Amino acid sequence: MKTRLLSLLVVSLVSLGSSSCQNDEELTENISSPVEAKIHPWDWEPEESHLIAGRAIYLQECALCHDEGEEGAPALTHVRQWEKRAVKGLDLLVENAINGFVGEDGKMPARGGTETLTDLEVRNAVEYMVATPK
């Protein structure tokens, strides 16, 4: 029961900061807020429809690199890597994922290398990665 309540609290906190981020400060807080209950990212199932869709895209297209942080990709569970990116703001993270990006840590291919992904699918996947408990 205690674990269930803590899980609900975590999901509520994460949901508050995902798609409704009004500014970069809120995005950074969402990633770096300490949470007592540790939910493994792969066990977290979001309730918001765009995050559910983002999770499906993540599992199908993004997990290969982002589960473990292959080739400089920020690992889904690595707080510092996501904090570093969060300060840029959600819109820039999405833009970089859509158009591709070469940074000091590595290269993000446009649409993760899957040209058939729509802008909305990419946005949902990025929002899922940002919202996932770290």
Which residue type, as a one-letter code, is found at position 49? S
On the question of pLDDT at 7 being above 80, the answer is: no
Residue 55, strand partner residues = none
Residue 101, strand partner residues = 108
What is the reported pLDDT for 27? 55
Question: What global pTM score does this model have?
Answer: 0.70
pLDDT tens digit sequence for 73-114? 999 989 899 999 989 999 999 999 999 999 988 999 999 999
What is the reported pLDDT for 134? 75
Q: Which residue has the higher pLDDT, 117 or 77?
A: 117
On the question of pLDDT at 24 being above 70, the answer is: no
For residue 86 the two structure tokens come to: 């969060």
Cβ contacts of 3-9, under 8 Å, gap ≥ 24: 3/37, 6/36, 6/37, 7/37, 7/39, 9/35, 9/37
What is the pLDDT confidence band of residue 25, given thresholds at 50, 70 and 90? low
What is the reported pLDDT for 61? 96
For residue 23 the two structure tokens come to: 């500014």
How many other CB atoms sit within 10 Å of the CB of residue 59? 14
Nearest of 53, 58, 44, 54 to residue 7 by alpha carbon: 44
Q: List Cα–Cα distances, 27 to 49, 61, 68, 77, 102, in angstroms.
A: 19, 23, 22, 16, 22
What is the reported pLDDT for 15? 39
Name the E strands within the chain: 101-102, 107-108
DSSP state of 127: H
pLDDT tens digit sequence for 40-72? 677 889 999 999 999 999 999 999 999 989 988
Instruction: Indicate the Cα dihedral angle 117, 99, 81, 47, nearest 10°.
Output: -30
What is the reported pLDDT for 26? 52
What is the reported pLDDT for 105? 87
